Amino acid sequence: MPVADVLRLATRAGYQGVELRAHAEEPVHPLLGMRERAAVRGQFADAGVEVLAVAGYARVAAARDAAGEEELAHELSELVWLAADLGAHFVRVFPGGGGRPAAEAEADAARRLAAVAPLAAERGVRVLLETHDSHRTGAAAARILGPVGHRHIGALWDVLHSWLGGEEPADTHAALAPQLGYVQVKDVVSAKDTTPVPLGAGAVPLGAVLAALVRGAQGPAPAFEDADGRGRGGWLCWEYEKRWYPQAPDLPDLLAPGRAYLQRLLEDTAT
């Protein structure tokens, strides 16, 4: 979808930021030239909408040979540069360590994230490991992030995957709170049928997720941090995966009701 159309939908429905999927089939990706990057940044600024994150597809826990290591390091660097050029707060990466011994996958992932951390710090970007695939729970992601110990490396909590991994929202938040960047919310039919549905119409325990976040925001540490480690009050990002579920309802008419639903949940949990 063209950037102008994305911004039109976001502003019409009252959204404050957008997570940009950084894939070659999308308008914004790492091969975009500097002039085009500046134009995209200008479009977002003119619309009053933030570029929340560049959602990359680097898999930091995957097995790689020497050439693959260089390729991954380049991919991570390019994602950081793209995010910085767009004014984005975050870069999303995946674990992708399926089929490997956990200890090996986690050591490789921690080493690779630590290697890109100085560039992320220099460019004012935070690289976030999403709870996904081989490390879908907060506890699993924390085993990678803990050894890194760098402010510019953190966690992206995908609430669907932690729930599918059998982890309670309060436990996920407790595991990720020291490194939490932002939260992807979504709703699906059931644990066995992950077809997207409007927020509140499915089985994902979004109320429990927001309750955990509100309790965390009231604690001694911020519930979320930006690229400089300052608490910002937190971002909730609705990830709607119609791209892989063509039978799912179209998103545009769901955007405003989805935002209103999240606002009601936040108000209910805060009282």
The per-residue pLDDT for range 123-179, each reduced to its tens digit, is 999 999 999 999 999 999 999 999 999 999 999 999 999 999 999 999 999 999 999
Domains of the chain with bracketed CATH: 3-270 (3.20.20.150)
The answer to whether the CB of 127 falls within 8 A of the CB of 117 is yes
Question: Distance between CA atoms of 91 and 54, rounded to whole angstroms?
Answer: 5
The per-residue pLDDT for range 78-102, each reduced to its tens digit, is 999 999 999 999 999 999 999 999 9
Task: Name 236's bridge partners.
Answer: 183
State the pLDDT at residue 223: 46
The answer to whether the CB of 238 falls within 8 A of the CB of 13 is no
Closest CA to 92 of 59, 138, 44: 59
The per-residue pLDDT for range 28-38, each reduced to its tens digit, is 999 999 999 99
Radius of gyration of the chain (CA): 18
pTM for the model stands at: 0.95
